[in-house]
Structure 1
Amino acid sequence: MGSIFSAIGRGINAIISAIAGVIMTIVGAITTVIVTIFDVIVDIICCRCGSRRSGSRYSRRRAGRGGGAATY
C-alpha cells in the first residue's frame, strides 16, 4: 500500500515540477523582453545626449568661450 501512495506522490511531484518549469520559463521570457526594451530606451536616450555633445552646436559654443582659435 505504501508503494502506491509513493507512486502517486512522485506523480504529483512531477506534475508540479513541470508546471513550475513552465511558469519559470514564461517569467524568464517576460523579464528578458522588459530588460531589452529598457536597454533600447536607455541606448536611445544616451545616443541623443552623445550627439548633442559632439554636435556642431556644442563645438561652436565651446570654441567661442575659450581663448582658443575658432574653426569654421
Structure 2
Amino acid sequence: MGSIFSAIGRGINAIISAIAGVIMTIVSAIVTVIVTIFDVILDILCCRCFGSRAAGSRRSRRRGRGVGTTGASTAI
C-alpha cells in the first residue's frame, strides 16, 4: 500500500516540477526581452547625451596605429 502512495507522490512531484520548469522558462524569456529593450533605450539615450560611440572608437584606433608604427616593430 505504501508503494502505491509513493508512486502517486512521485507522479504528482514530476507534474509540478514540469509545470514549474515551463513557468520559469516563460518568466526568463520575458525578463530577457524587457532587459534587452531597456538596454537599447539606455544605449540610445547615452549616445545622444555623451556623443556617438563611433567617434570614441576612431580615437582609440588612431592611438593604436600610432603605437604600432614605432621603429622597433618594423625592425623585427
* TM-score w.r.t. length of structure 2: 0.66
Aligned partners of 1:17 and 1:51: how far apart in 2?
A: 49
1:21-32 equivalence runs, <5 A: 21-32=21-32
Aligned partners of 2:12 and 2:50: how far apart in 1?
A: 56
Aligned partners of 1:23 and 1:29: how far apart in 2?
A: 10
1:12-31 CA deviation, whole Å, 9 max, x = no partner?
A: 00000000000000000000
Percent of aligned pairs sharing the same letter: 87
SS in 1 for 2:21: helix
- Large movers: runs of 4+ above 4 Å: none
Query: Which runs of 5 or more structure 1 residues have no equivalent in the other structure?
Result: 53-72
Structure 2 residue 67 is the aligned partner of structure 1 residue 39 = no
Bigger share in helix: 2
Structure 2 residue 18 is the aligned partner of structure 1 residue 18 = yes
* TM-score w.r.t. length of structure 1: 0.69
Aligned partners of 2:28 and 2:51: how far apart in 1?
A: 34
Structure 2 residue 12 is the aligned partner of structure 1 residue 9 = no
Max Rg structure: 1
SS in 1 for 2:3: helix
Aligned partners of 1:45 and 1:34: how far apart in 2?
A: 17
Aligned partners of 1:42 and 1:25: how far apart in 2?
A: 26
- RMSD over aligned CA atoms reads 1.2
